[in-house]
Structure formats: C-alpha cells, structure tokens
Amino acid sequence: MLSGLDKLLIATLTLVLMVGMGASLTPGDYRRALERPRAILIGLLSQFGWMPLLAYLAIRSLGLEGTDALGLLLMACTSGGNASNMFSYFSRADLALSVSMTAVSTLASVVMMPTLLYAYAASLNQTPMQIPYLAVMGTLALMLLPIGGGMWIRHRSARTAARVERVGGVAGALLLAVLLITSVSDQLDLLLTAEDASLLACLFVALSGMALGYMVARLAGLQPRQRQAVSLETGVQNAPLAIAVILATFPAVEQEALLKLPFLYAMTALCVGSVVTLAYRRFPSA
C-alpha cells in the first residue's frame, strides 16, 4: 500500500519531472510541428487512435475488469513523455519529431484523455465506476503549468535549462524506483507470471502500439527515422502523467488498485522499448 509519504514523494518527483520536460522544449518545437503536420498528425492518430482501441480489445479479449480495465485505459489514453524521447535518442530515430510529438500530444491530452476515457469506459458494460472526468481534465491542464515553467527557464537560460532537464531525468528514474520499491511486494507475482491476463494485456498493447505506429507511418511515406520515432512515441506512454491523474483525482480507496496497471505497463513498455531500440540501432534503415 502507498503511504501518505509515498504519495507526497511521487507527486513531488512528478512535478520535478514535468518541469524538466518543459525545460527540454522550446517554442521552436511547436513551430517545427507546424512545418511537418503530416508526421505529427500520424503520431497523434497513433497515440490517441490505436492505443485506446488496442487497450479496449485487450480488456475485452482477456477479461480485465474494474480497476485493472480502467488503469489500462488510463495508460493507453495518455500522451507521450520523456521516456519516448529517451528511446528515440538512443535508437537514433528522429529526436526532433519525437520531442515535437510529445509537446503537441501533451497539450492535446487535456481534452483527448477524458474524452477517450468516457467513450471507452462507457462501452465496457461493466459495473460503472465514478470517473471524475472534469477533475481529470483539470489535473491535466494544471500539468501544463510546470511544463510551461520549464519552457520559461529554457527561454531565460539554456545552461540552467540543461541542468533542470537533467534533474528532471533523475526525478523520472527515482519515480520508477519509488514505484518499484513500494509496489514490488504486491506486484511480484504479476511481474513473474507470464500467464497473468494483466501482463499479457500490457505486452499486447505496447508491442501492437509500436508496430501499428510504425506501419501506418511507413504507409504514409515517412522516412525510416521518422517512423521509428512515431513507433516509440506511440507505445511508450507517459506513466508519470497517468499516476499523477490517479493520485490527484480518484478517491484514496481506489488509488492503490488503479496504480497497478500503469505501474505494470510502465515496466513492460520500458522492456519492450529497450528491445525495439536495439533493433532500430541494428537496422537503422528499416
């Protein structure tokens, strides 16, 4: 169970991570997005189109219910984050496109995430949960403030922004470590049992999301480095954002159960993303 101190630590690390993310962005990233709208639109379609649909199919076919189903939907409806940018960097994909996609999808998530949650959760025909859609939207809008603060730091001083970005990266790593330490006792069987429906659902969504993102980008005529960036941006979702939404908007009695799938998906996507990154480095022109 997450204690009050754990939740405070997670919230603080998430805030620092968001400021660090903002420090990696500039208004030029949004200008570049406007200069190549086709790639950005394909990325948005992959993130907010395929991912929620894949999660819905996994929930239906594997029989996920309640908080497991909602937790997976939450993850599938989030934007990209720093982790996808990191994988794009290490795989030598189009990093500028990845950063631009993250910037645009973070803004779009304020509306898209609660809208998609409403559309898919309502169609599951399970015992309805009280999903605070307006609170989710408000939390996402508030998340833009630390990102904007990071961008302001970048505008004032590139050197300071570089330091803030590094601190944000450390905060992201610490956030995953905190989640691992606080959750491993409850999640150990889930992580080690490949037959578990939740683990299979996470693997299916992550792998299929990356594959679909890549194939659609290829059909659209994007260059290899661009479609690799779209692929990674699609499958590696923003787990800290999903976690922050859960902690800020859902009742305390539901938070522990809702955190289970975002945590598991984050671990799964990191493993899958690492393998895909190695493949992209080995076959850069694929």
The whole-angstrom separation of Cα 22 and Cα 106 is: 11
Lookup result for tokens 């919230």: 11
Q: Which residue has the higher pLDDT, 182 or 281?
A: 281
Ordered by start, the domain boundaries in the chain are 4-282
Please tell me the pTM assigned to this model: 0.76
Query: Euclidean distance between the first and final Cα of the chain, in Å?
Result: 44
CA angle 129, 55, 89 (to 5 degrees): 125
The whole-angstrom separation of Cα 214 and Cα 42 is: 10
The whole-angstrom separation of Cα 90 and Cα 277 is: 7
Whether the predicted pLDDT of 207 surpasses 90: yes
Identify the pLDDT of residue 177.
Answer: 65
- For residue 196, give the 3-state DSSP assignment: coil
Quote the distance between the C-alpha of residue 97 and its chain's center: 16
Pick the CATH number of 4-282 from 1.20.1530.20, 3.40.50.2300, 2.40.37.10, 1.10.268.10: 1.20.1530.20
The predicted-structure confidence for 130-139, as pLDDT tens digits, reads as follows 566 666 666 6
Q: Residue 103: which residues within 8 A CB-CB, separation 6 or more? A: 25, 29, 30, 33
The predicted-structure confidence for 175-196, as pLDDT tens digits, reads as follows 666 655 655 555 555 455 444 7
Lookup result for tokens 């779009």: 108
The predicted-structure confidence for 58-104, as pLDDT tens digits, reads as follows 998 988 888 888 889 989 988 887 778 778 877 888 877 887 788 78
Lookup result for tokens 């649909």: 53
Angle subtended by helix axes 4-23 and 82-91, to nearest 10? 50
- Whether 90 contacts 228, CB under 8 Å: no
